[in-house]
Amino acid sequence: MQFTSLQQDNEIYNLLQAETSRQREGIELIPSENYTSGAVMEAMGSILTNKYSEGYPGKRYYGGQVNIDAIENIAIERAKKLFGAEHVNVQPYSGSPANTAVYFALLNYGDTIMGLKLDHGGHITHGLPISFSGKSYKVIPYTCKPDGWLDMDEVERLAREHKPKLIVAGFTAYPRAIDWPRFRAIADSVNAIAFADISHTAGLIAGKQLENPTPYFDVVMTTTHKTMRGPRGAIIMCKEKYAKTIDRAVFPGLQGGPHDSIIAGKAVCFAEALLPDFQDYAKQIILNAKALADALKNHGFKLVTDGTDTHLILIDLTTKNITGKEAQTALDAVGITANKNTIPHEPRSPMDPSGLRLGTPAATTRGMKEADMQKIAGWINDALANKNDASKLQTIKGEVKNFCLQFPLPGVK
């Protein structure tokens, strides 16, 4: 027997309802999370999930691909237009597999790469010793200066010293805009492949609020959720000279059949990002982040680099007598979702670090503006100051809930 409705699976249905309530009644401040549109959700939950499509448009291993090929080609062309890319592969399942595919395509095991150290704002796929990237390649990590700003002089010095085959410019907890031309120049000076991971800022780039690295870099990878507001997935963009190598690495190198329903969702989110009002959205994300940063500073919070150019804020809690884990727990208790995070030159364990990472994409999608960021900063301050007072936390939670109910969840009936 097959269920005809999700309600027939009572356990899962009830948990989905509970999650809907949690999202509706709370403020989402994790910078890598966002809300998709109803149209993207419709594509992801569509009949396309029934189809198997190993290969690429016009070169499939199974029949019945006429509609699948058309959808994938549309996604590719929209992504090319959005980012000005020469070649796009829309099949990667997510960001980490996409980064792995880039390495698999362009490197030999044991080659030297450079990436930002994880506790300075990099990603596990940029050379963390216990990850695939760290185990497969010789990794030369670069870092941030004591003030939290990226040390580009160190990047240049290390590149000249170690002659890496590939340099990764990609960040998950760095709040400032990136000097893409300088990264490109450093890579050129040592004949390295320049690889940008823009998973966090792709929507801000597509919305023309931050500089686009695609013209400068050999390869650019981005996820399609986060600031893009699409499905959980990724794409790889590259110069035409790398196209065949990248495609072969994705399939059959590392993946089998692509997720056709997710590719359709990617196509829809690219169409949304090509609309004029997406630029307004991207601009508002940054305005909100700056407003939230200023309000937090007014409450005495110390921010890494003292602010932000993007959607992301990193709080240094060492002056607040609270750890990142304690802060995350206190905020969860009042309906504000954030994540603990390391800070540059982290003195504590990554499981209970000194930082808290915040972002404004999801709140902006719900329609919140600068004045709302002032309120949110106040609740953050009060929650952390009263982390051991259950009664006070419950009062704040009620205020947060009443506030959030004024802002409908996109894509949810």
The binding site for (6S)-5,6,7,8-tetrahydrofolate comprises 118, 122-124, 240
Q: What is the mean pLDDT of the chain?
A: 96
Residue 178: partners with Cβ closer than 8 Å, 6 or more residues away:
150, 169, 171, 211, 213
Domains of the chain, residue spans: 41-273, 280-404
Which residue of the set 223, 305, 308, 310 is catalytic? 223
Is 161 an active-site residue?
no
Is 277 an active-site residue?
no
Tokens of 304: 């890494």
Which residue of the set 52, 283, 375, 395 is catalytic? 52
Tokens of 208: 């023309």
Low-confidence spans in the chain with pLDDT less than 70: none
**Helix/strand number for the chain, H first, E second:** 15, 15
The binding site comprises 118, 122-124, 240
Is 72 an active-site residue?
no
Which residue of the set 151, 197, 346, 372 is catalytic? 197
Q: Which CATH number among 3.40.50.720, 3.90.1150.10, 3.90.110.10, 3.40.50.300 corresponds to the domain 280-404?
A: 3.90.1150.10
The CATH fold assigned to 41-273 is: Aspartate Aminotransferase; domain 2 (3.40.640)
Q: CA neighbours within 13 Å on the CB side: how many for 319?
A: 9
Which residue of the set 25, 33, 42, 54 is catalytic? 54
Q: Which tens digits make up the pLDDT trace of 278-288?
A: 999 999 999 99
CA 12 vs. chain centroid, Å, equals: 27
Is 201 an active-site residue?
no
Query: How would DSSP label each residue in 60-79?
Result: ESSS--HHHHHHHHHHHHHH
What pLDDT, on a 0 to 100 scale, did the predictor assign at position 259? 98
Is 326 an active-site residue?
no
Tokens of 355: 């930082």
Amino acid at residue number 140: I
Is 142 an active-site residue?
no
Which residue of the set 24, 51, 232, 283 is catalytic? 232
What pLDDT, on a 0 to 100 scale, did the predictor assign at position 412? 85
Residue 250: partners with Cβ closer than 8 Å, 6 or more residues away:
89, 91, 92, 98, 101, 236
Residue of 149, 206, 140, 138 whose CA lies nearest to 178 = 149
What pLDDT, on a 0 to 100 scale, did the predictor assign at position 124? 82
Q: Which tens digits make up the pLDDT trace of 300-315?
A: 999 999 999 999 999 9
Query: How would DSSP label each residue in 283-333?
Result: HHHHHHHHHHHHHHHHTT-EEGGGS-SSSEEEEEGGGTT--HHHHHHHHHH
What pLDDT, on a 0 to 100 scale, did the predictor assign at position 350? 84
Which residue of the set 60, 117, 165, 226 is catalytic? 226
pTM for the predicted model, two decimal places:
0.96
